[in-house]
Amino acid sequence: MADLSCNIAGIKSPNPFWLASAPPTNTGYQVANAFEAGWGGAVWKTLGQPIVNTWSRYGAMDLNGQKIVGLNNIELITDRPLEVNLKEIYEVKKRFPNNAIIVSLMVESKREAWHEIVKKAEDAGADGLELNFGCPHGMSERGMGAAVGQVPEYCQQITEWVKEVATVPVLVKLTPNVTDIRYPARAAKAAGADGVSLINTINSVIGLDIDTLAPRPTVNGWSSHGGYCGPAVKPIALNMLSQIATDPETLGLPISGIGGVSNWKDAVEFIALGATSVQVCTAVMHYGFRIIEDLCDGLSNYLDERSMTLDELRGISLERIHDWKELDLNYVVNARIDQDKCIGCGLCYTACEDGAHQAIFSERRDDGRTFVEVKPDACVGCNLCSLVCPVDGCIEMVQIPNDFEPCSWEEYSSGEGVLAPRPTYER
């Protein structure tokens, strides 16, 4: 079994899987149960000024019978008394000394207020602090959460205030509701943050009930924009993660990855793009704490099969993230259909004909089956057919060797490179 122990900016946990600051970390009861189940750490649901929640707080996007591919919420930070939370943090930490408890914080943008809450959290036993500069709804209207995260100067200022008094590592949780995530990340680093966590939820209107035409989640017929999360947001999170991890100004800044992590494979992707710990929320809200067993087991098996350590995996794919202009234009692939595996559904034909490059030939054969074949001189290797094919391994993208040296757009446009011929098929 691979060693999964984790140390991010000095915060240690037995494995890299943390519960994100959210409803699953609302109470000591839940966090203790999570640790019992095997979770490495928990980011306690954000402490701050007292708030009151609406009734009905979540909306979900279902897709093709799959429930909750995306979730949004209009729930705010903890609505439990600060003293109760602090007392429970203390008790859970005492019971689980080896697990990481990171306390999420959000108070009004005043130096004293931040100093005070930081001290209280540390006194309660926090192993680390996470500054919630991400919450996009409700709190942002009060000048907190995303309202801070969207302005690098505020981000920097508050992080500095926190660092003035904090004795435990400080992570800054970033909002994805910005045009370029690198700016707030740079600001956090400049202020001395020990790491960043991302992504927080994305501004969203999850949908409408088309019977009543009320947006969801409905509060007496009205709604508000909420924070979007769940499996559907993972690609956005991976992009932002890789942007920070490859940005020269934030290179090496510890990252706690968040955003649609549902299973160990998602975690591998986050870690390979630079995350040290990985936070999970929606999958737990859907299936409960028990998913930790497979998260750890799957990650461990993956590492064992590759004889790789967690440290070796971390950031391993970052060198493969490049600007488009650097990609090789002379790398040629064509779709190839395995006729023995083809079931004759013709989905590749429809997709290529209507949605791509008209490079698949189709005919109804005498036995009644739909026969499909790639026209090699028309295929631009776009991939779409292999994506729609319902049969594993039936359509593969096969490299077509050529005699040309690799050539990027940069090289081609500067006259340094020569392009291999493109398909000449008349359409």
Q: Which is nearer to another protein, 64 or 307 (CB)?
A: 64
Does the footprint of another protein cover residue 346 (CB under 8 A)?
Answer: yes
Whether omega for the bond prior to residue 50 falls within 30 degrees of 0, making it cis, is no
Stretch in the footprint of another protein (CB under 8 A) among 25-33, 72-80, 308-316, 342-350: 342-350
Active site residues: 135
Please report how close the Cβ of residue 113 comes to another protein at its closest, in angstroms. Answer: 48
Half-sphere exposure of 41 (CA within 13 A, CB side): 31
Half-sphere exposure of 201 (CA within 13 A, CB side): 31
Distance CA 265, CA 248 (A): 27
Does the footprint of another protein cover residue 382 (CB under 8 A)?
Answer: no
Quick one: which of 391, 397, 400, 420 contacts another protein (CB under 8 A)? Answer: 391
Please report how close the Cβ of residue 288 comes to another protein at its closest, in angstroms. Answer: 20
For 149: left if phi > 0, alpha if psi spans -120 to 50, otherwise beta; the answer is alpha
Q: Is the dihedral of CA 15, 21, 22, 24 positive or negative?
A: positive
Q: Which is nearer to another protein, 166 or 348 (CB)?
A: 348
Does the footprint of another protein cover residue 343 (CB under 8 A)?
Answer: yes
Does the footprint of another protein cover residue 347 (CB under 8 A)?
Answer: yes
Site pattern 356..375 for another protein (x: CB under 8 A): ------x-x---xxx-----
Quick one: which of 1, 52, 65, 366 contacts another protein (CB under 8 A)? Answer: 65
Q: Which is nearer to another protein, 65 or 401 (CB)?
A: 65
Q: Which is nearer to another protein, 320 or 365 (CB)?
A: 365
Please report how close the Cβ of residue 235 comes to another protein at its closest, in angstroms. Answer: 22
Please report how close the Cβ of residue 360 comes to another protein at its closest, in angstroms. Answer: 10
Whether omega for the bond prior to residue 199 falls within 30 degrees of 0, making it cis, is yes
Please report how close the Cβ of residue 345 comes to another protein at its closest, in angstroms. Answer: 4
Does the footprint of another protein cover residue 350 (CB under 8 A)?
Answer: yes
Quick one: which of 64, 307, 414, 424 contacts another protein (CB under 8 A)? Answer: 64
Distance CA 409, CA 412 (A): 5
Distance CA 72, CA 60 (A): 6
**Number of residues binding to another protein, judged by CB under 8 A:** 16
- Bridge partners (DSSP) of residue 202 are 228
Please report how close the Cβ of residue 355 comes to another protein at its closest, in angstroms. Answer: 12
Distance CA 139, CA 135 (A): 7
Does the footprint of another protein cover residue 339 (CB under 8 A)?
Answer: no
Q: Which of residues 176-195 bind another protein (CB under 8 A)?
A: none
Q: Which is nearer to another protein, 125 or 346 (CB)?
A: 346
Please report how close the Cβ of residue 362 comes to another protein at its closest, in angstroms. Answer: 7
Does the footprint of another protein cover residue 325 (CB under 8 A)?
Answer: no
Report the interface residues with another protein, using CB under 8 A.
64-65, 343-347, 349-350, 362, 364, 368-370, 390-391
